[in-house]
Amino acid sequence: MANAAERWDVFCKVVDNYGDVAVSWRLARLLAREHGKRVRLWLDRVDVLAKLRPELDAASYLQVLEGVEIARWRDDATDIAEVVVETFGCDPPEAYVLAMAASETKPRWINLEYLSAEDWVEGSHRLPSPNPRLPLVKHYFFPGFTPRTGGLLREHDLLTRRDAFQSSEDAQAQFWRDLRGEVPRPGALKVSVFAYPGAAIEALRAALGPDACLVVPGENVPFLPQDRYDELLWACDLNFVRGEDSFVRAQWAGRPFVWQIYPQDEGAHWVKLSAFLARFSAGLSRDDAAALTALWEAWNKGEGVGPAWAGFAGRRATVREASQAWAQRLAGQGELAFELAKFTSKLLK
């Protein structure tokens, strides 16, 4: 008889916006679809996932989507799985943790952390953290951009699907007709914008000029289902993205992108932003790197977008090549769900 599928529980509590749920959902789906795990995704805000996946019922306590059981968070949950993933340090319910501690075979417990390009991530990835009061050990698992991190989430066929879309005029024309009722004029610069409130979108619009096709989901087109949003990133010449998940998906798109980082207290986010730019810019000429950096800084500050765009516009072709190469290089490194499954299976021994 075949072994029963390993049971995984992924817990996610929304801090704000969509990113926490977006990442947890992608991980859960990959574990179920590509690694044969039996996955339950516990969400305190099913409505947030329902925004990304409109076929879900935001009021349901338990439903199945693409092989993942989506369960509404319960403080009295005690039916423990073999592998427990808390995303972004969200802490599973106390009763659940006590049940983990009481069980003879302790579940393997992972805290999936936020993405950062900073160097310290390599040193903290996979570190154990013994529980101070219970016989349990939690391990930190860090996504990242280098082989000594957990890597990034990527469906096995993502780049193949992207390439098929980007090389098909018909697929793209169909995409634009479905989205806006018409295809952008030939040669029009296609730009998507997903930004935090208060971003300098009007300054960007003015800088791009009237011939550009500027797409702002939630404003001039509807907020898209998550998989369609990927296609928007593939279809555009330049993508303004934010947070964590759209930032990663823009990289997989292989097109130039501008990252609006989630602002943190005391400007801590600038360190994270610079760390990423330093890695990405290694594949650019000095002048391209300077122009890209100026645009990212202007966008994040909400100031000087016009001049920064003027400095960047003529460099799009070389930045595009570098963006393609960057995606290709990342795809040669470990994929996060795979690395996590591998790591947790080693914890058994």
Q: What is the 3-state secondary structure (H, E, C) of the chain?
A: CCCCCCEEEEEECCCCCCHHHHHHHHHHHHHHHHHCCEEEEEECCHHHHHHHCCCCCCCCCEEEECCEEEEECCCCCCCCCCEEEEECCCCCCHHHHHHHHHCCCCCEEEEECCCCCCCHHHHHCCCEEECCCCCCEEEEECCCCCCCCCCECCCCCHHHHHHHHHCCHHHHHHHHHHHHCCCCCCCCCEEEECCCCCCCHHHHHHHHCCCCEEECECCCECCCCHHHHHHHHHHCCEEEEECCHHHHHHHHHCCCEEEECCCCHHHHHHHHHHHHHHHHHCCCCHHHHHHHHHHHHHHHHCCCHHHHHHHHHCCHHHHHHHHHHHHHHHHCCCEHHHHHHHHHHHHCC
Binds ligand TRH by CB under 6 A, chosen from 9, 20, 86, 231:
20
Binds ligand TRH by CB under 6 A, chosen from 10, 11, 12, 19:
19
Binds ligand TRH by CB under 6 A, chosen from 107, 151, 243, 254:
243
Q: Considering only 77-85, 140-148, 245-253, 311-319, which stretch makes contact with ligand TRH by CB under 6 A?
A: 245-253
Give me the least distance between CB of 233 and ligand TRH, in Å please.
9
User: Is there binding between residue 226 and ligand TRH (CB under 6 A)?
Assistant: yes
Binding mask 278-317 for ligand TRH (x = CB under 6 A): ----------------------------------------
Q: Considering only 128-136, 155-163, 178-186, 242-250, which stretch makes contact with ligand TRH by CB under 6 A?
A: 242-250
- 211 annotated active-site: no
Q: Considering only 220-228, 266-274, 278-286, 335-343, which stretch makes contact with ligand TRH by CB under 6 A?
A: 220-228
Taking the least distance from each CB to ligand TRH, the nearer of 39 and 153 is 153
Give the active site residue among 6, 20, 288, 339.
Answer: 20
Binds ligand TRH by CB under 6 A, chosen from 10, 12, 22, 136:
22
Instruction: Return the residues of window 250-279 that contact ligand TRH according to CB under 6 A.
Output: 262
Residue 96 to residue 81: CA distance in whole angstroms? 10
- 244 annotated active-site: yes
Give the active site residue among 82, 155, 244, 288.
Answer: 244
Binding residues with ligand TRH: total (CB under 6 A): 21
Give me the least distance between CB of 125 and ligand TRH, in Å please.
18
> Which of the residues are catalytic?
20, 244
Report the interface residues with ligand TRH, using CB under 6 A. 15-20, 22, 52, 194, 217, 223-224, 226, 229, 242-247, 262
